[in-house]
Amino acid sequence: MDYHLTLPKGLITLRNGIYQGSHTEAVWSPFNPNETGGWQNGDTLAVVCSFNLNPNVNPKPPASQYAGLCAGACNTTNQGAINSLINQAKTLPLPSPGTLLGNGISTATSSPPATAVFYNCVATTGTFALQPTNRGTLTNYVYRYVMTFNGSNTVANGNQVEIVFGYGDPMDSEVDS
């Protein structure tokens, strides 16, 4: 089955040691597989984030303070792994065009590692101009990943998949899992 996840405007961290989460929810389509029987081998996930390019604050952050979409996966029962992925996302050096976190998501197109909950991960990048223009441009920033569930992974069965995403600007913090 093909699943789609749309993430709200947001980011990773305020960069002053304070983490602030979003109060908005990600939207699954047609539904969250964790709540309806679990992931099946070969299921695909397309996840898209929305950057808060022009936050309602002054001064507006420069491009050098933005992070592209980062993603990681682990078992829902492994709080240590979840925290590790979140901390990795929150401490990415800025600017960051986006990256995979941990080893739960692989770019391998076939024969994925046993630790890869998802494989065949392909990133889509874009260029986003900030306003006013003196704030810069986000060039080749990841805003979308498409990946395939690895039913043979040794980390999480189809009912125990935790996915962590981080992205955005330093005004509206966001790490979704």
**Boundaries of every domain in the chain:** 2-176
Of 53-62, 79-88, 125-134, 146-155, the range with the lowest mean pLDDT is 53-62
**Contact between 141 and 98 (Cβ < 8 Å):** yes
Give the CA-trace dihedral at 133, 127, 74, 23, to 10 degrees: 40
The pLDDT, as a whole number, for residue 169 is 63
Task: Determine the Cα–Cα distance for residues 119 and 102; give it in Å rounded to an integer.
Answer: 13
Q: What is the pLDDT of residues 143-155, one digit of tens each?
A: 999 999 999 999 9
Taking 60 as the threshold, does the pLDDT of residue 20 lie above it? no
Per the structure block, which two tokens stand in for 3?
A: 């699943």
Q: Is residue 127 over pLDDT 80?
A: yes
Tell which wins on pLDDT, 105 or 60.
105
pLDDT tens sequence across 55-73: 777 788 889 988 899 999 9
User: Is the pTM above the cut of 0.85?
Assistant: yes
